[in-house]
Amino acid sequence: MEKIKYTDEKMNMIKHQVQRLVEIVAQLEAEFPGRHFTLDGHLVGSIGEVMAAYYYGIELYAASTEIHDGEVDGKKVQIKISQQDNIVINHEPDYLIVLYLNRNGNIYEVYNGPGKLPWESASKRDSHNNKHMRVNKLMELDKAVDECRRITQINHIEKMDVKYKNRK
């Protein structure tokens, strides 16, 4: 692997790109009041929440509400999104929607259904008291969800397929 040369030019380029990201964050937060798109970890989660609100008609709760992110048709829903091969949850949700964001910006549905089965199938709690679930496992669990147990789509979202996964 080639050693990276850290130059003033590269650092100026990073500064410029980060400034662009900060501008994008400001635009997203203005467009979706109450969601935090900060670059420290909220960005992808808030993207997932607003995308789920669009695809499923979910009324979002205030940001950082514990356990559930919103509800639709009286169903409380936790929303997760990942660009990697796993998601992390720390409470059993009533319903769970898991989305996947690949590098080209497309969003796919990984899991849509009751939270009980993924919660019970997740790995044991880690040192931070979180449970981890692999995207492939969630895709398998999703196949067993009866259509009547899903959150109804109001706008079409494609199902996740392994060919859409981000490669390292």
User: Could you tell me the residue ranges of all domains in the chain?
Assistant: 34-163
- Phi, psi dihedral angles at 92 (to 5 degrees): -75, 115
pTM greater than 0.75 (yes/no)? yes
91, 66 in Cβ contact below 8 A? yes
* Rounded mean pLDDT, 28-37: 90
Burial 94-117 (b: 16+ CB within 10 A, else e): ebbbbbbbeeeeebbbbbbbbbeb
Q: What is the mean pLDDT of the chain?
A: 90
Q: pLDDT value at position 1?
A: 61
d(CA 2, CA 73): 54
Q: Which of 150 and 103 is assigned the larger pLDDT?
A: 150
Q: Residue 25 — pLDDT band, cuts 50, 70, 90?
A: confident
Q: How far apart are CA 86 and CA 99, in angstroms?
A: 11
Query: What pLDDT digit, counting tens, does each position of 50-85 carry?
Result: 999 999 999 999 988 999 999 999 999 999 999 889
> Coil, helix or strand for 98?
strand
Query: Both ends of the chain: CA-CA distance in Å?
Result: 15
Band (pLDDT 50/70/90 cuts) for residue 168 is low
CA 125 to chain centre: 20
Q: Please, which residues bridge with residue 80 across strands?
A: 98
Mean pLDDT computed over 100-121: 93
Percent of the chain scoring above 70 in pLDDT: 96
Structure tokens at 168: 């390292």
- pLDDT, tens only, 88-110: 999 999 999 999 988 888 899 99
Residue 157 has pLDDT above 90, yes or no: yes
Residue 166 has a pLDDT of 78
- Beta carbons within 8 Å of 19's beta carbon, 6+ residues apart: none
CA distance 19 to 85: 29
Residue 50 to residue 32: CA distance in whole angstroms: 8
- Which of 59-68, 106-115, 133-142 has the least mean pLDDT? 59-68
